[in-house]
Amino acid sequence: MSKQILSPLPGTFYRKPSPDEPPFVADGGPVAVGDTIGLVEVMKTFHEVKAEISGTNARFAVENEEPVMAGALLVELD
């Protein structure tokens, strides 16, 4: 059964800390509790999205810089 990480608020989702850096979590990579999986930007303020669950084989449901709504699926984990 897959586990899900949802967006805590509406905004723009960023998988990287900055455009020239690698993603916080690689596609297919592991995620531990407390890991930052991305950022949600709301009105020029960036909010870290931290995993509250752990898992493997991260599959992102949204692309980098894609708008998201609160409660939207960001990542599925095994």
- The total number of structural domains in the chain stands at 1
Q: Residues 6 or more apart from 10 whose CB is under 8 A from it?
A: 40, 42, 67, 68, 69, 70
- For the entire predicted model, the pTM comes to 0.92
Domain that holds residue 61: 3-77
Q: Kindly report the CATH number assigned to the domain that includes residue 52.
A: 2.40.50.100
Give residue-wise pLDDT tens across range 9-53. Answer: 999 999 999 999 999 999 999 999 999 999 999 999 999 999 999
**pLDDT score, position 2:** 84
Residue 76 is given by DSSP the state E
1: pLDDT strictly greater than 90: no
Average pLDDT score over residue span 64-75 = 97
Residue 36 pairs with which residues in a beta bridge?
A: 50
> What count of residues does the chain have?
78
